[in-house]
Amino acid sequence: MTKELKDYKIKPEKKIENAVIFLHGYGANGKDLIEIGNIWKRNLPNTIFLSPNAPFECPWGGESFQWFELTSIAPDKIGEGLKLAGPYLNFYIDSVCKNYNLSNEKIFFVGFSQGTMMALYHLCKRELKCGGLVGFSGLLFEDESFDKDVLSKFPITLYHGKNDEVINYEFTIKAYEKLNKLGFEINYNLSELLGHGIDEKGISIGESFIKKFFYI
């Protein structure tokens, strides 16, 4: 049975009309990204910000979680990990829709690193499209069936530091080229001095991107 993910929340003062779900990176937890919600909440009213812990604890324990193991960077191992984590993410999304009476299109996702990998791989396989995705410092994992498994297309903006030594920024360019070819509404921005992280410019771009689609 798929377990429910523990999450962290920032609720709006008024009626909840939208949701932003943060998907953290390897070795972090839901608290890692939720503070971005405090920056965005003023300009994204009626939005609940949610940040779940990934389903699996890291080997060293503590408050460190992973969507999948990174003991090997072999493509087949990463693919296995992504597929294993998928039901947890989908169950969480469905629960958010039900608990807050929201349609999928009223939910935006913000991923960092492994969280971006999860979002890029799984969200397009959901029959009902989400509001969109802001993906920081990630990559698109493609298996042989990826193209034919795409069931929904949604707006995406990607952001990556050119000094990233964990995931090279060229993976963002490759993801853009692939998803653009498949018909996604997608763009990307690169930060000249940023490493593996999120800077103020990226936070600002993410907020503007989400606001554009939530408040058309």
Give residue 22's pLDDT: 98
Residue at 42 is within a domain: yes
Give residue 76's pLDDT: 72
Q: What angle do CA 164, 170, 171 make, to 5 degrees?
A: 95
Give residue 109's pLDDT: 98
Give residue 59's pLDDT: 87
Residue at 20 is within a domain: yes
Residue at 160 is within a domain: yes
Give residue 2's pLDDT: 66
Residue at 79 is within a domain: yes
Give the separation between CA 151 and CA 27, rounded to whole angstroms. Answer: 30
Give residue 74's pLDDT: 64
Residue at 2 is within a domain: no
Number of compact structural domains in the chain = 1
Q: Which structural domain, as residue segments, surrounds residue 65?
A: 7-214
pTM attached to this predicted model:
0.96
Residue at 25 is within a domain: yes
Residue at 1 is within a domain: no
> In the chain, which stretches have pLDDT less than 70?
1-2, 71-75, 216
CATH code for the domain of 41: 3.40.50.1820
Residue at 67 is within a domain: yes
Give residue 192's pLDDT: 95
